Chains A and B, each alone.
Chain A
Amino acid sequence: GAVVSQHPSRVICKSGTSVKIECRSLDFQATTMFWYRQFPKQSLMLMATSNEGSKATYEQGVEKDKFLINHASLTLSTLTVTSAHPEDSSFYICSAPGPAAAGELFFGEGSRLTVL
């Protein structure tokens, strides 16, 4: 099956710093990728849709300037949490649609961000 790799898996940073999370499709091209956020024991909440070659589409209530998304190539999307604060601590997980038209989403391993 298709593989999506996410890095780093864990990151701890000081308040005020920026953190970049990478999401790569390893064996297929992904013109679209999705970024989700998950708090403990809760559901995955869609943050934004990353589009190769164009601006990301953000869900209502998600700060564009806070969560910068760049889809640099057909296999790489990045999420940068700018000026991170403790309330940004969460599990961030990316996904990409598989090759089939109505197929599943393939997920990265997720990144656990802790802001001190």
Chain B
Amino acid sequence: AQKITQTQPGMFVQEKEAVTLDCTYDTSDPSYGLFWYKQPSSGEMIFLIYQGSYDQQNATEGRYSLNFQKARKSANLVISASQLGDSAMYFCAMREGLSGSGNTGKLIFGQGTTLQVKP
């Protein structure tokens, strides 16, 4: 079963507008972390934002915010005031077993969403 699902292969957004990239996950582990990475055409992976399963508040980092709905197992990324430089592929990822010996550290990635910002 897919652990991380991104249902939007591609998205368009007008410059300066906000956009939401969807991510749902599946885990039975009570302790996990959710990540969003940006991958421009150069291939590098750029960390954007992190949400822990026990965090009470939604994570925010500048123009990025994570809409964490634990009961629905969703962790959508919201980018406000889109810029042309935001055009890239975006990946949602999950790391399970953060507590105890189960902390292997490996990230499981979703399929990715290609975002194109229109001028």
Contact = CB atoms under 8 A, between A and B. Distances in A.
Interface stretch (A18-26, A60-68, A80-88, A104-112): A104-112
Interface band, chain B: 20 to 34
Interface band, chain A: 20 to 34
A102 to B, nearest CB: 5
Contact of A43 (B33, B35, B95, B110): B110
B3 to A, nearest CB: 11
Contacts, number: 57
Contacts of A42: 111-112
B91 A109 contact: no
A75 interface: no
Interface of B: 33, 35, 37, 43-45, 47, 50, 52, 89, 91, 95, 98, 103-112, 114
Interface of A: 32, 34, 41-46, 49, 91, 93, 95, 97, 101-107, 109-110, 112
10 contacts: A32-B104, A41-B114, A46-B107, A49-B104, A93-B45, A101-B103, A105-B35, A105-B105, A107-B44, A109-B43
